[in-house]
Amino acid sequence: MEVSDSVLEHLCQVTALPDLTGTRYELEAEIGRGGMGVVYAARDRELDRRVALKVLEVPLSGEAQLISRLEHPGIVPIFESGTLADGRSFYAMKLVGGARLDQYAAGEHTLSESLRVIRRVGEALAFAHSRGVIHRDLKPQNIMIGEFGEVYVMDWGVEAVAGTAGFRAPEATLDKLSDIYSLGALLKFLLSSPAAPALAAVGQKAMNSDPRARYTSLTALLADIDRFEQGQAVEAWSEPVWHRVKRFAVRNAVLLWLLVAYTFVKFLLFFWRKS
């Protein structure tokens, strides 16, 4: 008996579906696919809520335990982990509605909104670093922007992943400074062209091929972004004098205009009196 390609394909798809027997979940649909496994939308029958189920092709090597230690608004919480009837490992986590960062970036956004996203990602990363966890594979596809603008960093600490070209640091061994490189790459990804020189310098410093020349911590990188937003000088850029004067004038425009007004009034009165 011959089986058509479409039937064969369907059979393959069906057999690849996770066997959720014995769990409290009902499968709904596949929502994503990565190097380590497949993510499905599912329904938690006991709590009557939708969750995301990540079914791993490799044994659970501590990824779920890793993430469960990271309780932070920017990190997707893990609800449960275990082994399916078919032997595959899984973990259930919050189902995040919204869009991936690469999809979000395709739309129109102000610089302020883009920097807000970077700041949220940086805060989640900084928290993880404080708990000894490194992401290793930060890229737009691993950032979710929720329906209400909340930012989530996903796919944490998977050692087997070699990173993604364009966002992976050049060094062989990945560490916290590699995550800083990746955040700099995300910043560059989100910035429109041409970017403000100060902001471009922040990205370049974060993405320096020499890890020792990068920011020493995410806090330092985020502080520079804050300084940029407040109209202050950033540490990453030795701005020329004319730019410093221009920045001063912009930050103190009202005061300068008042001083000009005072000088004008004084001159006016002086010459009026003389005449």
Partner 1 sequence: MNKIVVGLIFGVVLGALDGATAWFYPETRPVIGGILIGSSFKGMLVGILSGWFARKVHSTGWGIAVGSALGLLFAFLVAFMDAKSGKPHYLEIMLPGFVVGAIVGFLTQRMGSPAVAKSGAQ
The residues that are catalytic are 137
The least CB distance from residue 275 to partner 1, in Å, is 13
Nearer to partner 1, 162 or 253 (CB): 253
- Gap between the Cα atoms of 19 and 68, Å rounded: 24
Residue range at the interface with partner 1 (CB under 8 A); choices 30-38, 96-104, 139-147, 251-259 = 251-259
Quote the distance between the C-alpha of residue 244 and its chain's center. 31
Residue range at the interface with partner 1 (CB under 8 A); choices 16-24, 35-43, 235-243, 263-271 = 263-271
Nearer to partner 1, 162 or 255 (CB): 255
Q: Of 57, 197, 254, 275, which one interacts with partner 1 (CB under 8 A)? A: 254
Nearest Cα to Cα of residue 178 among 215, 144, 132? 215
For residue 256, which amino acid is it? Answer: L
The least CB distance from residue 260 to partner 1, in Å, is 10
The least CB distance from residue 219 to partner 1, in Å, is 25
The least CB distance from residue 209 to partner 1, in Å, is 42
Angle at 198 between CA 192 and CA 201, to 5 degrees: 85
- Gap between the Cα atoms of 177 and 194, Å rounded: 26
Nearer to partner 1, 244 or 266 (CB): 266
Q: Of 3, 47, 250, 259, which one interacts with partner 1 (CB under 8 A)? A: 259
Peptide bond just before 18 cis, omega within 30 deg: no
Nearer to partner 1, 212 or 273 (CB): 273
Nearer to partner 1, 162 or 259 (CB): 259
Residue range at the interface with partner 1 (CB under 8 A); choices 50-58, 90-98, 132-140, 250-258 = 250-258
186 three-class SS: helix
Nearest Cα to Cα of residue 15 among 88, 83, 92? 88
Any idea what DSSP says for residue 127? H
Instruction: Please tell me whether residue 269 binds partner 1 under the rule CB under 8 A.
Output: yes
Ranges assigned E (strand) in the chain: 25-33, 37-44, 49-56, 78-83, 89-94, 99-100, 143-145, 151-153
Judged by the rule CB under 8 A, the positions of this chain that interact with partner 1 are: 254-255, 258-259, 261-262, 265-266, 269-270, 273
